[in-house]
């Protein structure tokens, strides 16, 4: 192989090696993103496993019946979900697990008794650019001097695991994990093939470089 041909071959090998190194870095970055995705999937599943709710043991039927506590049925047992800052009674449609999170956040508490006050609040959108909306008066309930009720201070209340969506969460976790594992396996195979190709190119690179060095040495000897 002549000097020019050897130099051209060396440049070609170098270009291919650089391309492999670039693709290898891209695969490494993809694997990092997959690791982050895997961690997020695991965290979502852990959250589902640790999901809890408030329950109430109801004896009104003559038998003990455990009922999930929600803002909608609290009044049945003489309680209210109250906003700690505004004293407004919350009556939104949320499930037992969400209500427990609201209480745990400290923003709301379960209250008993107190003086209820009804207030009409205009919930119509505010006018903008000359647009006027008809008033929409909605009754809101506020309470003062309510007694705060805690689970530890009430024998009929309890914190229990919420397994309502556990089967769905487990199925989603398994499906997402299998998908991530399949992607990682494919990337590992690509990385292995590129490592083999890079190693072969490195060997050829060293061989061609050595050949160029020998040709240069012979040229010096010829003209010396």
Domain boundary among 162, 185, 202: 162
Q: Indicate the Cα dihedral angle 71, 77, 83, 89, nearest 10°.
A: 80
**pLDDT computed for residue 210 by the predictor:** 77
Domain containing residue 215: 3-47+170-223
DSSP string over 176-198: HHHHHHHHHHHHHHHHHHHHHHH
**pLDDT computed for residue 139 by the predictor:** 80
Whether residue 194 sits in one domain with residue 107: no
**pLDDT computed for residue 111 by the predictor:** 94
Whether residue 63 sits in one domain with residue 36: no
Whether residue 180 sits in one domain with residue 119: no
**pLDDT computed for residue 119 by the predictor:** 82
Q: Are 107 and 46 in contact (CB under 8 A)?
A: no
Whether residue 89 sits in one domain with residue 138: yes
Whether residue 115 sits in one domain with residue 178: no
**pLDDT computed for residue 163 by the predictor:** 87
Q: Are 143 and 113 in contact (CB under 8 A)?
A: no
Whether residue 82 sits in one domain with residue 138: yes
Whether residue 67 sits in one domain with residue 158: yes
**Residue 10 CA to chain centroid, in angstroms?**
48
**pLDDT computed for residue 91 by the predictor:** 86
**pLDDT computed for residue 96 by the predictor:** 92
Whether residue 194 sits in one domain with residue 104: no
| Backbone angle region of 129, left / alpha / beta, with phi > 0 → left and psi within -120 to 50 → alpha | left
Domain count, the chain: 2
Whether residue 20 sits in one domain with residue 98: no
Whether residue 106 sits in one domain with residue 79: yes
Beta strands 108-112; 65-68: pairing state: unpaired
The per-residue pLDDT string of the chain (224 residues; one tens digit each, 9 = 90 and over) reads: 556 777 888 888 899 999 999 999 999 999 999 999 999 999 999 988 889 999 999 998 889 999 999 999 998 999 999 999 999 999 889 999 999 999 999 999 999 998 888 887 766 677 665 566 666 777 889 999 999 999 988 889 999 998 888 889 999 999 999 999 999 999 999 999 999 999 999 988 888 787 766 666 655 555 55
Whether residue 58 sits in one domain with residue 41: no
SS3 content of the chain, % helix, strand, coil (to 5): 55, 20, 25
Q: Which of 36, 40, 42 is nearest to 184 (CA)?
A: 36
Domain boundary among 115, 146, 162: 162
Whether residue 124 sits in one domain with residue 30: no
**pLDDT computed for residue 36 by the predictor:** 96
Domain boundary among 122, 145, 162: 162
Contacts of 57 (CB under 8 A, 6+ apart): 64, 65, 66, 67, 156, 157, 158
**pLDDT computed for residue 131 by the predictor:** 64
Q: Is 74 helix (H, G, I), strand (E, B) or coil?
A: helix
Q: What percent of the chain has pLDDT over 70?
A: 87
Residue 66 CA to residue 151 CA, distance in Å, equals 14
């Amino acid at each position: 192989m002549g000097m020019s041909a050897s130099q051209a071959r060396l440049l070609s090998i170098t270009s291919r090696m650089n391309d492999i190194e670039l693709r290898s870095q891209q695969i490494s970055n993809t694997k990092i993103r997959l690791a982050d995705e895997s961690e997020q999937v695991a965290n979502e599943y852990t959250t589902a496993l640790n999901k809890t709710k408030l329950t109430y043991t109801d004896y009104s039927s003559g038998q003990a019946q455990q009922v999930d506590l929600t803002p909608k049925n609290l009044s049945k047992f003489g309680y209210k979900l109250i906003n700690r800052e505004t004293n407004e009674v919350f009556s939104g449609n949320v499930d037992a697990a969400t209500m427990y999170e609201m209480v745990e956040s400290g923003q709301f508490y379960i209250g008993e008794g107190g003086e209820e006050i009804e207030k009409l609040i205009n919930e119509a959108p505010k006018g903008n650019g000359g647009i006027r909306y008809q008033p929409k008066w909605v009754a809101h309930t506020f309470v003062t001097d309510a007694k705060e009720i805690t689970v530890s201070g009430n024998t009929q209340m309890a914190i229990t695991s919420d397994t309502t969506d556990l089967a769905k969460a487990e199925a989603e976790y398994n499906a997402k994990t299998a998908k991530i594992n399949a992607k990682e396996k494919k990337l590992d195979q690509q990385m292995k093939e590129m490592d083999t190709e890079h190693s072969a190119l490195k060997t050829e690179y060293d061989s061609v470089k050595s050949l160029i060095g020998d040709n240069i040495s012979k040229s010096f000897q010829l003209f010396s």
